[in-house]
Amino acid sequence: MAAHVIRSIEKYHPNGIDRFVNVGCGDGFTSVRISQRYPDADVTAIDPSPMVKRLEGLSGIRPYHGILQNAPVQPDATDVVAIIGNWMLHTDPEDTARCAYETLRLGGTLILDFKNIRSLSRVLARWAFRLGVDKIAMRGWLQRNYLNMRFGYTRDFVRQMLTQLGFEVVEMYSKPPRLLEFKNRSSYQKGLAGTVWRTLNGVDRWRDEQAWVHVVCRKNSTPK
């Protein structure tokens, strides 16, 4: 996840950044990577989970236990806001994006991603629920691929939402499911399960509808 964020920062902020806000940072892995890559930057790590407190005492990182809406972040002053892996779980994703807009300076960048409801695994999960397959088998698989999100968005919907908030969407692409991209030793990468996941991802890559959608947008105008 951090690699996608760093790649976007390097592309759109080639001279580096001074302030970075990581919304929904979890245990702070991305925040730490950003702080290492940009040691002079002020990194604010925000998460409603107490695990964010693990970042206390780390040089260059200011952890905040809460949400962006009530975080002590100066408006119109941040270079980059990142919302990675959790945006569709927020109580009001649009309000989070609006707060990110207010936090960013003019020309600042919002980097976020969200689960792609048009990926083949989620289309199949949706049909399985409609047919009642979850009552017989695959309940866990279906929950991971369809239920584990409060909202489900399409790329067109997200582009329209961000544009109305005043952002200019400069990049939007699909990326593979994390269980494949992490290249760890997960059981889901082995045997029949791994073959199924790689096959589904191969089809989605051809369709450009992989499991996640990565979005980069700039604060370049006023809200409509």
Q: What is the pLDDT of residues 117-157, one digit of tens each?
A: 999 888 888 888 778 777 776 767 677 666 677 788 899 99
- 190 in a structural domain: no
Alpha-carbon distance of 153 to 115, in angstroms, equals: 8
- Position 42 confidence tier, pLDDT thresholds 50, 70, 90: very high
For the chain, what is the domain count? 1
In percent, the amount of the chain with pLDDT more than 70 equals 88
Helix axes 29-37, 2-12, angle to 10 degrees: 40
pLDDT for res 133: 77
pLDDT tops 80 at residue 174: yes
Q: What is the mean pLDDT of the chain?
A: 88
Q: Is residue 122 part of a domain?
A: no
What is the pLDDT averaged over residues 207-211?
90
**Whether the predicted pLDDT of 219 surpasses 70:** yes
Q: Which two tokens stand for residue 169?
A: 């969407």
Q: Flag whether pLDDT at 44 surpasses 90.
A: yes
- Partnered with residue 212 across adjacent β-strands are 115, 175
* Cβ atoms of 68 and 23 closer than 8 Å: yes
Location of structure tokens 């990675």: 84
Q: What is the pLDDT at residue 222?
A: 61
Domain for residue 203, yes or no?
no
Domain that holds residue 56: 2-117+150-184+210-219
Residue with tokens 């009530």: 70
The whole-number average pLDDT for the span 80-94 is 94
Which among 84, 76, 73, 66 is positioned nearest to 7, based on CA atoms?
A: 84
Q: Has residue 124 been placed in a domain? A: no
The per-residue pLDDT for 73 is 95
Query: Tokens for 207?
Result: 């369709």
Q: Determine the residue type at 121.
A: S
Give all strands of the β-sheet with 42-47 in edge-to-edge order: 61-65, 42-47, 19-23, 78-83, 104-115, 212-219, 167-175
- pLDDT score, position 223: 57
Given a cut of 60, whether residue 62 has pLDDT beyond it is: yes
pLDDT of residue 122: 85
Burial of 75 (0-12, 13-18, 19+ CB in 10 A): exposed
For the chain, the residue count is 224
Query: Does a structural domain hold residue 160?
Result: yes
Report the pLDDT value the prediction gives residue 7, as an integer from 0 to 100: 94
The domain that holds 76 is classified in CATH as: 3.40.50.150
pLDDT over 70 at 190, yes or no: no
Helix axis angle, 191-207 to 120-130, nearest 10°: 110
Residue 48 covered by a domain = yes
Helices (H), 110-154: 120-130, 139-142
CB 45 within 8 A of CB 32: no
- Whether 193 shows a pLDDT value over 90: the answer reads no
CB 174, CB 213: distance < 8 Å = yes
Residue 77 lies in a domain: yes
Give pLDDT tens digits for 94-110.
Answer: 999 999 999 999 999 99
**What's the pLDDT score for residue 140?**
72
pLDDT at position 220 over 90: no
Q: Quickly state the pLDDT bin for 186 (edges 50, 70, 90).
A: low
CA distance to 71, 107, 131, 186, 189, per residue, from 137 (Å) = 43, 49, 12, 21, 20
Kindly tell me the sign of the dihedral angle through the C-alpha atoms of 116, 149, 66, 46.
negative
129 in a structural domain: no
Q: What is the mean pLDDT of residues 19-41?
A: 94
Q: What is the mean pLDDT of residues 48-62?
A: 92
